[in-house]
Amino acid sequence: MFNEKDAKSNYHEDENAMVNDFDDLKELGKEMEQISEENDQEKHNQSHDNN
């Protein structure tokens, strides 16, 4: 039924997880999208600065 190996593997996954549920996953996605947009804008600005 439940042994020590299962307890350790579940603890290990929870400890290293960036998200715990779907709401966390949605929030992480929003943050990643914002960072991506900021990086795109920065690259766009740099390409104009070099000309």
Q: Token pair of 9, please?
A: 């593997």
| Domain membership of residue 28 as a residue range | 21-51
Could you tell me if residue 8 is inside a domain? no
Q: Which pLDDT does position 6 carry in this prediction?
A: 57
Residue at 40 is within a domain: yes
**Spatial CA neighbour of 28 closest among 19, 38, 37, 36:** 19
* In the predicted structure, residue 47 carries a pLDDT above the cut 60: yes
pLDDT in tens, 6-46: 555 555 566 666 678 889 999 999 999 999 999 999 998 98
Residue 4 lies in a domain: no
Number of separate domains in the chain: 1
pLDDT at position 30, please?
A: 96
Residue 41 in any domain: the answer is yes
Whether residue 14 is contained in a domain is answered as no
7 assigned to some structural domain: no
Q: Is residue 10 part of a domain?
A: no
The predicted model scores a pTM of 0.53
The reply to whether 35 falls in a domain is: yes
Q: How far apart are CA 29 and CA 46, in angstroms?
A: 26
